[in-house]
Structure 1
Amino acid sequence: MDLFDSRSASPMLIARQTDPFDDPDYIYELKMDGFRCLSYMDQNAIDLRNKRNMKMLSKFPELKEIFKNVRNRCILDGEVVVLVDGVPDFYRLQKRTLLTDRFKIELEASRYPASYVAFDCIYAGKRELVWEPLVERKNSLSELVIENSRLAVSRYIEEQGMALYQAAEARKLEGVVAKRKNSIYYMGKKSNEWTKFKRMADEDYVVAGYIQKGRHTYSLVIGKYRGEILMYKGHVTSGVTSEAVSMLKVTGRNPFRMLPTENKDAVWVELDHVCTVEYMPNLQNSLRQPVFKGFRDDIFPKEVQMES
């Protein structure tokens, strides 16, 4: 079946993080601190899907008209972002994804409207573009999109990855993505053809429980799966709010086979929340200065696996 009609596309993923580099075979663009989505657009409507292929337009109603700014039927890959003072604000974005009340969503949309920043085009007209080189897909993207305040095309530069990273670091932006110019689009796969340079490293973890350390201070107990077994990976305290903890469902069942003694006061919860933790990169297999960045609902907990 046609890729557009079947809604069966899935995003290509970045396989690794490296130190910044310059290379004439690569292009470089800013890494948006946003929410990855594929957008299916034609002359009548937009269908916005996250990495789990869940419909997301109800969370971002201010994007419902952006289909009017593309010249042909297409599938675009990009990020939904919320800008505050010209800088992506992940907190405001994440808050929106967790809302379910229509009135509250509309209120947030009016106060902090989201935009869609497209960086790739994998389908145009009636043709799949996944086997075309990246630079040709970029050309198709530029020809398709008429930019406005809600829809933009990601800008890129050639060769000078280190300079762009230094500029991103100076503004405390998330980082830079480097992409090989001739890379094809591997749907649903991690590829070394795309890599990222980030100020901070981040990883996803399954939330297994929490420990209350003060009146308004909490630590989340986190883990990763090895096959079907959840392995303990530590705690994160900074950034954890009582609002975040209130979203967890208490079970009272310890999900770990082995657990350090400092977790004796933990409240165990349903293993249905995945969080992103940001930390300072280091050579040890540990989280240095970890910060809770937020929950995400675009991957399943069992997908959060330890590296083999």
Structure 2
Amino acid sequence: MLRPPVEPMLAQARETVPGPGVLPGALAFEAKFDGYRCLMFTPAHPGGPVLLQSRRGSLIERHFPDLVRAANDLPPGLVLDGELVVWHRERFSFETLQRRAAAGGRSVEQLAAAFPAHYIAFDCLQAGGEELLAEPYARRRAVLEELFTGHGLTAPWTLCPMTTDPALAQEWLTSWTDVPGVEGLVIKGLAQRYLPGARGWFKVRRRNTTEAVIGGITGSLRRPQLLILGRYDDDGRLRPVGRTVPLRPDAARQVADHLRPASPDHPWTGARFSSAWGSREALDVTPVVPDLVAEVDADTSIDRGGAWRHPLRFARLRLDTAAADVPRFGQGTTPAAG
């Protein structure tokens, strides 16, 4: 019998959808949702606790009492792998999900009533007390589908969409990811075992080309390492929207040729920038004159308001574009012109 903590199997990022032969068996494509990775354990015997485990191994069921109550109707001895999400205002809301995960006391039930959680199941690690880790994904998926059909599961339970048709998967990648909170695809091999902690799957995020203003850098003006990007809001304030991955040497030289040190009245003077989304570690940022426009590749993980949660890839400088022509703060991945 599986007991928490169980390390979830992970995926390694790919730029494009891989072809056949890269994973054991034929390929299966699942929609990738932007939520909290969560393993769910139903009790082996009546009256036992329902447990919800985060990706890092923490038990988080006290934050999601609505899901725990719903899970009491599921079969005993079940372990599911999936994504916790919250649907709010016609979109998946990662921010609301965060509020729920951080809530305590009476606010837990209040938030559960106002913003109910949903669970998107994509794998079954145990059913009826039988551990399935060594079984191929094809069988685990069949067990999961039988769970949904045999028990007539509806909200808050959702069966993660899956296809073995590469053309349909590509269509999902280009159309479904227009919905905030749908990030891309996870690719699995039908013959794959479930390997806790291993990066044995692939993930492909949809990325869009767009533009942002370079407001700061790490490194030096002669050798910039990361670009700290911003967009102007409707009041003319430069608002941070994200940072790039480390620049390639040729890109760093290209940017360095045009950087100018900022004056003390730069809007980001004294501001603190974290090294990663959700991290408390600060970057050593040097503000620069915010008149250079960068074209970047960005994925679809955007906070409400317009900031990217994942690092962006620098594509090129847009010396033909003025900072005033960049999409406004909050406009997400509006495609770049030209």
**Shorter-chain TM-score tier:** 0.5 to 0.7
Is the 8 Å Cα contact of residues 31 and 176 (structure 1) preserved in structure 2? Answer: yes
1:94 and 2:98 are equivalent in the alignment: yes
- Is the alpha carbon distance of 1:282 and 1:179 closer, same or farther for their aligned partners in structure 2, counting shifts above 3 Å? farther
- Is the alpha carbon distance of 1:19 and 1:283 closer, same or farther for their aligned partners in structure 2, counting shifts above 3 Å? farther
Which residue, 185, 191, 198 being the options, matches 1:176? Answer: 185
Which residue, 12, 15, 19 being the options, matches 2:12? Answer: 15
Q: Displacement of 1:148 after TM fit?
A: 2.3
What is aligned with 1:300? none
Is the 8 Å Cα contact of residues 46 and 66 (structure 1) preserved in structure 2? Answer: no
Amino acid paired to 2:49: A
Cα distance in 1 for residues equivalent to 2:160 and 2:154: 13
Amino acid paired to 1:14: A
What is aligned with 1:103? 106
1:126 and 2:129 are equivalent in the alignment: yes
Please give the secondary structure, in 1, of the residue aligned with 2:310: strand
Cα distance in 2 for residues equivalent to 1:9 and 1:236: 38
Please give the secondary structure, in 2, of the residue aligned with 1:79: strand
What is aligned with 2:27? 26
Is the 8 Å Cα contact of residues 42 and 75 (structure 2) preserved in structure 1? Answer: no
Q: Displacement of 1:82 after TM fit?
A: 0.3
Q: Displacement of 1:73 after TM fit?
A: 0.8
- Is the alpha carbon distance of 1:186 and 1:140 closer, same or farther for their aligned partners in structure 2, counting shifts above 3 Å? same
Q: Displacement of 1:113 after TM fit?
A: 0.8
Is the 8 Å Cα contact of residues 200 and 281 (structure 1) preserved in structure 2? Answer: no
What is aligned with 2:41? 40
State the identity %.
23
Please give the secondary structure, in 1, of the residue aligned with 2:106: helix
What is aligned with 2:171? 163
Total equivalences in the alignment? 241
- Is the alpha carbon distance of 1:268 and 1:165 closer, same or farther for their aligned partners in structure 2, counting shifts above 3 Å? closer
Cα deviation digits, residues 248-270 of structure 1 (max 9, x gap): xxxxxxxxxxxxx989735599x
What is aligned with 1:256? none
Please give the secondary structure, in 1, of the residue aligned with 2:26: strand
Q: Displacement of 1:92 after TM fit?
A: 1.1
Q: Displacement of 1:175 after TM fit?
A: 1.5
Is the 8 Å Cα contact of residues 72 and 125 (structure 1) preserved in structure 2? Answer: yes
Cα distance in 1 for residues equivalent to 2:62 and 2:208: 31
What is aligned with 2:157? 151
Cα deviation digits, residues 78-103 of structure 1 (max 9, x gap): 01000125531111112222223x22
| Matching of residues 282-293 of structure 1 within 5 Å | 282=314
Is the 8 Å Cα contact of residues 137 and 191 (structure 2) preserved in structure 1? Answer: yes
Cα deviation digits, residues 91-126 of structure 1 (max 9, x gap): 1112222223x2222222211111111110112223
Please give the secondary structure, in 2, of the residue aligned with 1:274: coil
Is the 8 Å Cα contact of residues 39 and 49 (structure 1) preserved in structure 2? Answer: yes
Please give the secondary structure, in 1, of the residue aligned with 2:56: coil
- Structure 1: which 5+ runs fail to align? 202-218, 224-231, 239-260, 293-308
Cα distance in 2 for residues equivalent to 1:221 and 1:184: 43
What is aligned with 1:72? 76
What is aligned with 1:185? 194
- Is the alpha carbon distance of 1:200 and 1:111 closer, same or farther for their aligned partners in structure 2, counting shifts above 3 Å? farther
- Is the alpha carbon distance of 1:70 and 1:143 closer, same or farther for their aligned partners in structure 2, counting shifts above 3 Å? farther
Please give the secondary structure, in 1, of the residue aligned with 2:126: strand
Is the 8 Å Cα contact of residues 77 and 118 (structure 1) preserved in structure 2? Answer: yes
Please give the secondary structure, in 2, of the residue aligned with 1:174: strand
Which residue, 84, 87, 100 being the options, matches 1:83? Answer: 87
Cα distance in 2 for residues equivalent to 1:125 and 1:171: 35
Cα distance in 1 for residues equivalent to 2:18 and 2:273: 43
Cα distance in 1 for residues equivalent to 2:93 and 2:64: 15
Is the 8 Å Cα contact of residues 22 and 162 (structure 1) preserved in structure 2? Answer: no
Is the 8 Å Cα contact of residues 5 and 53 (structure 2) preserved in structure 1? Answer: no
Cα distance in 2 for residues equivalent to 1:21 and 1:74: 32
Cα distance in 1 for residues equivalent to 2:208 and 2:41: 32
Cα distance in 2 for residues equivalent to 1:66 and 1:120: 18
CA RMSD of aligned residues (A): 4.0
What is aligned with 2:251? none
